[in-house]
Amino acid sequence: MHAGTNVKLALRVSLPDGIHVQSDKPRDPMLIATRLTVEPTAGISTSEIVYPPATDFAQKGQTTPLAVFDQQFVVGIAVAVAGDAAPGVVQLPVRLRYQACDATTCYAPARQDATFALRVVPQQTALTRVEPALFSRLHFQQ
């Protein structure tokens, strides 16, 4: 990435068979929403976090379907790179907080930490888009 540009990132989430997580907007206020937070990092500012559309899941014993993210989903992150960012690698820590469920039970909330290693390169360095099809499924406002 170049200094002074906007960049879109994608966090792929894979869950075990038979497990889903609550969406970012669960219908039941007692359930824990899936939330991605980005740690403040010098030279990087987060402008948007995009979640996939939720899927309805009819859980045994519930009258209203749960709004969930299935076994495989992607969360998008739009960041801006400071214009004075020096060439090199910038570590961008993120944390995913979620509540996993199976067909009959919702479990205690949990979290998973990850880090994006973002490489700032000189302006004259050509860039290549990675996995454009993946990003075409994310609906960023920008």
Q: Is 70 exposed, middle or buried (0-12, 13-18, 19+ CB in 10 A)?
A: middle
**Cβ atoms of residues 122 and 85 within 8 Å:** no
Confidence (pLDDT) at 81: 95
Other CB atoms within 10 A of residue 12 CB: 11
Band of pLDDT at residue 112, cut at 50, 70 and 90: very high
**Which residues 6+ apart lie within 8 Å of 45 measured at CB?**
79, 80, 82
- Give the global pTM: 0.90
Whether CATH 3.20.20.150 fits 6-131: no
For 78-95, what is each residue's pLDDT tens digit? 999 999 999 999 999 999
| 138 to 77, 94, 100, 121: CA distances (angstroms) | 10, 18, 22, 25
Confidence (pLDDT) at 103: 87
Residue range 55-73: mean pLDDT, rounded: 89
What percent of the residues of the chain are helix, what percent strand, and what percent coil, each to the nearest 5? 5, 50, 50
Token pair 């996993």: residue: 100
Confidence (pLDDT) at 106: 85
Confidence (pLDDT) at 60: 78
Residue range 123-129: mean pLDDT, rounded: 89
Does position 142 have pLDDT exceeding 70, yes or no? Answer: no
Does position 11 have pLDDT exceeding 70, yes or no? Answer: yes
Whole-number Å distance between alpha carbons of 102 and 45:
36
For 21-44, what is each residue's pLDDT tens digit? 999 999 988 889 999 999 999 999
